[in-house]
Chains A and B, each alone.
Chain A
Amino acid sequence: MSLLFIVAAFIAVAGAAGVVLAKSPVHSVLALVVNFIALAVLFLSLQAEFMAVIQLIIYAGAVMVLFLFVIALLTARKELPTSPQKWLKNQEVLGAALGLGLMAVLGTVALAGRGAAAEVPADFGSVVAFGRSLLTTNVFVFELTAFVLLVAVIGVVILVGRREA
């Protein structure tokens, strides 16, 4: 197990914990960016070059800019105001206990894995190999992504684009 993996995995987990623990939404977004960059490094170590690049461009770039714009639009205050009334007592404790239980179960399953990495050609995960797979065997996925993005654009325009009714 190389130092690269240990450092990247630690940073990814720390970033995810920062997203959950940070009080201010801006700090959450910054922790999420750290998490995404560490994941891109992990993708690179798995020879998934194209996935690492689009992880950086789409997530660390576009999605995070979207989050930051909405936070800037909604509030200049430190924390978004939440309702003082709670509908479920001890919600934090219950949620954390359930999540830690899920972590224990999933971790046990993950550690039971015995598979070894296959021998792959040198261009595995490169843009050329990925593009050839996407545009020949899996061309339906390509069409589907176009449709999903179209639905998202139309949905956002219908939701917030109209004048106040």
Chain B
Amino acid sequence: MTAAPIAAYILVSAVLFAIGGIGVLVRRSPLAMLMSVEVMWNAANLAFVAFARQHGSLDGHIFAFLVITVAAAEVAIGLAIIVLIFRKRATVDVDDIRALRG
């Protein structure tokens, strides 16, 4: 027996995912955007773990483990890129980073 119905966990996961999405769309500092992406990763993880509990299978845990690893790699490389950009220019704003635009 879990502390709440599985649907309640999925609802929390959905709300967290949407809040993270709002953060990515609204904030213009790449640091804040990266942190909002972290919130979205974690919302997905919560859904994985909740469904793993619903089906009594550990596969959801395995995938959440993979997600955590990929998120750690993404943070390391993302922060390295932010440090590089900050060395080149005074402001860190995603609107200014257009070097790859065709």
Residues on A lying within 8 angstroms of B by beta carbon are 1-2, 4-6, 9, 12-13, 16-17, 19-20, 25, 28-29, 32, 35-36, 39, 42-43, 45-48, 50-51, 54-55, 58-59, 62-63, 66-67, 70-71, 73-74, 79-83, 85-87, 91-92, 94-96, 98-100, 102-103, 106-107, 109-120, 124-125, 129-130, 133-134, 138, 141, 144-145, 148-149, 151-153, 155-156, 159-160
Contacts and interface: CB of A to CB of B under 8 A. Distances in A.
What DSSP secondary structure best describes chain B's contact surface? helix
22 contacts: A5-B4, A20-B26, A48-B52, A51-B61, A51-B64, A59-B38, A63-B75, A66-B79, A70-B31, A82-B92, A92-B26, A98-B22, A99-B18, A112-B7, A117-B54, A120-B53, A138-B59, A141-B62, A145-B66, A152-B73, A155-B77, A160-B80
Given A5-B8, A20-B23, A125-B61, A103 B96 contact: no
Interface residues of B, number: 76
Contacts, number: 263
